[in-house]
Structure 1
Amino acid sequence: MDRTGSDDAHPRTEISGPEVDVSTPNVARMYDYYLGGAANFAVDREAAEKALAITPEIGRFARMNRLFLGRAVRYLCEQGIDQFLDLGSGVPTVGNVHEIAHQHDPDARIAYVDHESVAVAHARALLVDEPNVSITQADIRRPADVLSAPGVSGLLDFSRPVAVLAVAIVHFVPDADDPARILRTYREACAPGSYLALSHGSPITMTESETHRGQNVYRSTKTPLVVRDRDEIAAFLDGCELVEPGLTPINHWPTTNDEQPANGYGAVGKLR
């Protein structure tokens, strides 16, 4: 795949407006670039290429994380879950939650939530003919706003089990915002039998130098990357009964294998 970062290789998205900041890199659009999407701008591509030059593991995490999301959604569908709250859903790309869920149950309901204007605009265009899917522009750090938004409260029935997806989003929530409290608030809004699927970047194989230099790239965005170890990530899953094999490298869930671990942990837990 061409990763030159040129405008010819990745045509600039036509979505624009006063709410779209094209002067500062955005993590959702950088993630889209890692996955080969075109919903990104030159400033995003430049920052992403700086990160990839430090270590290709950053791009590999994005790809492995997308596959983890797909496996988690399929598992949840097999458990009878037909409602999903996708926090920090990002720019729509191949293997969206609603596409996977609707393969199992065409009536499944999916509420996407993201704060980034380009991600929301692309999602709205994609979902125009999807009555059981919504997109809400909101800050996931404000659970009360998210849970009361019409696209969430009007679509999902929280008296029945819901799967909360916090996939590759909590590592953009600083400790000062108390991510454990944020996740706990979402869990407490859910009925018994609900699930939490979580993934979080972590330097499993990356060197300390690679980690710090990668963080420096993300400091140029409005949502710097927070590095946490396995124990810190495990704390976010308190109150959940983890599905085997528990909290593992994202590319080792749900089946452990000999593949080099991707630099992030993932788990699916049933709410107690």
Structure 2
Amino acid sequence: MAEQLSAQRVAIVTGAARGIDAATALRLAADGFAVAALDLEEAAAEDTAAAIAAAGGTSLAVGADVSDAAAVDAAVARTAEVLGSPSVLVNNAGITRDNLLFKMTEPDWDAVMGVHLKGSFLMSRAVQQHMVAAGYGRIVNLSSTAALGNRGQANYSTAKAGLQGFTKTLAVELGKFGVTANCVAPGFIASDMTKATAQRIGVPWEQYAADRAEAIPVRRAGEVDDIANAVSFFADERSGFVSGQILYVAGGPKA
């Protein structure tokens, strides 16, 4: 099967079960990529893979804990065997464990760092060998406006800021091999994660979204497709002279 698909670019999208991640997987499939939709549990990614197949694309649901090196290596190897060597990686898997600093536990800190930072490191390390061998690759990391600081998110903000430095370093190290690395930093996006935040603080979603939109120059919440569009740009072959960049997709000049 890998030989049959060798002419098709292959993308891996982590956290692809829902929200921004699923929208990104669907967009890359529409762009012509065979997509490995990766999530913690394979069953969770099957709906995304099925949606891609229903639209005429090629996809594979893959289960892996991105903070586990052996699981990551196995997931990338399986993708390469079934779909072909990955030429695009989107590091989008993420979790939140919000709390004020004095209430935040070590497990809450470690869990967020493990998925966002360690996960992006392990996935990038695993795919870069395929990209370097091919002399071509695109790595897109998902940061956030929270990288600039956000009350109650010391762990999440730190991880998202770290991903920006990680992205720039990858761009420096991998550029000579034809591999670019860029970062998309979403602002307020209507997604499962932000709806869960509204529920956690006890504010109706419609009110929460409207209040947040008031501070955004374009006066609306972002949609998951806004982020998928940005990732699509960085993943495109024609974006080869853009690397090490942080693109805030936040509805205005201030993140």
TM range (shorter): 0.3 to 0.5
TM-score of the two chains, using structure 1 as the length reference: 0.45
TM-score of the two chains, using structure 2 as the length reference: 0.48
